[in-house]
Amino acid sequence: MTAEIAVFNKSAVSLAADSAVTISGGDGVNKIYTGADKLFALSKHHPIGIMIFGSADLCGIPWEMIIKEFRKQLGSNSFDTVEEYSEKFWEYLCLGEYIIPQDIRENYLVDTYSNRFFPSLINHIEEKRIKPIIDESNEKPSITETYRILEEEANVILNGLKQQPFYEGFSEADITDAVAFSLPIAKKTCEERLFQEEGQEIPESLVQVIADLFSRVTCQQSPFGRNTGLVFAGYGNKEFMPAVLAFNVLGFFKSKLRFSPNLDKSSSGGLCGVKAYAQEEEVETFLNGISNNIKGFMYAGFEVENNTISKKIKDKINALALSESDKETLCNELDELLNDRCNGYQAVVDQHIIENYTSKVTEMIEFLPKQDLAYMAESLVNLTAFKRKVSNDNETVGGAIDVAIISKGDGFIWVKRKHYFDKNLNHHYFTKTA
């Protein structure tokens, strides 16, 4: 995990990133190292930077290597907007088979199917359908019955995935190609992972729905796969206020990149604010006086109480000597009233948070000079690292904090930057990268 911050106003944007990276071993043991680079200048000549969070690689190839190779290819070229920089970066990734060959792309996608999505699917179905049957009858369902349950639940999940938005550049036309690609993988995965009695074949309809699921995971947004967040920040040639654009990147299908914009974590030019990436809870608490997790828990409690009150009153209504239509009318009016009250109270809480906490910070960001933007970004990363250090959570945020300021006039300026070597012994490095 990681903690990264973008703080921006009309004069500059400051980026800060910690150095911790978590490596998960095959035995379930996690190791945390504090030397990762997550913040880079995307161009040596123009005011544009990039941060990464989530997975540190794309299809097993380190993002650091990809970004620095793109920067080398970019040279002194520039574009009118930050969005155009991101588009050129996606184009470079799709065409750069010398960096990520096609076989590596395919193997990565197969791994997503077989080792990430399929086990999650089986665990979900076992918990939802198989375990209750065992608890009730004290017997496992037969193999044939198990196949039927798997197919039923897979179809339910498939219908849900069909409603999800497509990745950028993907459409229903890509689903046909994805099904053809994934069908033999689905068959092999089912044969290897599902229990079979001697002489018993896995139904073709089950294999087909698994292939359909694989194809939807390939082309449409879902929580499966190793996601990398990329943040482009800075200025294009025709932008005079900083823009921050965030994206989710999950790999390739053939020559297409599987990515989507993260609008919640992006900001257009002219706005002032703070965006936190990856571990956000401490930053949310600092800005809003309450974390989104606690607020969500509180709002869920409101709904539970609403439902409890509604049930008790409906029981009393149903016991009255009224016609069924009158009872139904009263029950519907009750639900509407309780829902309005719950939504109204949530709106009051949200407004109180904005007026008394959030706005007191964000309104002043507009007037912060460049050095204070950097100080704020670094402090918010430090806040998250400190919380992890003094609590019983794993220290998944830590190490040296890299901080940069990007402004239209001064370009990309490092405020703090770690090096893995002694600077006094490597003057040639700074001459080369100047």
Sign of CA dihedral 70, 72, 73, 79: positive
- State the residue for tokens 């792309």: 105
Q: Report how far residue 256's alpha carbon sits from residue 247's, in angstroms, rounded to the nearest whole number.
A: 15
Q: Report how far residue 406's alpha carbon sits from residue 85's, in angstroms, rounded to the nearest whole number.
A: 15
Give the residue from 6, 26, 24 showing the smallest Cα distance to 16.
6
Give the residue from 259, 249, 255, 261 showing the smallest Cα distance to 94.
255
CATH code: domain 3-101+224-279+372-433 is 3.60.20
- Buried b / exposed e over 39-69, threshold 16 CB at 10 Å, is bbbbbeebbbbbbbbbbbbbbebebeebbee
Sign of CA dihedral 59, 61, 62, 63: negative
230, two tokens: 């990329």
The amino acid occupying position 257 is L
pLDDT along the chain (434 residues), means of 10: 89 93 62 84 96 91 94 95 96 90 93 91 89 85 89 93 95 94 94 76 92 96 89 96 96 94 89 90 91 90 89 89 88 90 91 92 92 96 87 77 95 92 81 60
Angle at 42 between CA 245 and CA 70, to 5 degrees: 110
What is the 8-class DSSP label of residue 129? I
pTM comes to 0.88
pLDDT for the residue numbered 185: 95
Give the residue from 93, 41, 95 showing the smallest Cα distance to 68.
41
Q: Report how far residue 165's alpha carbon sits from residue 402's, in angstroms, rounded to the nearest whole number.
A: 35
C-beta of residue 11 within 8 angstroms of C-beta of residue 2: no
Length in residues, the chain = 434
pLDDT for the residue numbered 198: 65
Give the residue from 434, 384, 394 showing the smallest Cα distance to 16.
384
* Angle, in degrees to the nearest 10, between helices 172-193 and 118-125: 70
269, two tokens: 């030019």
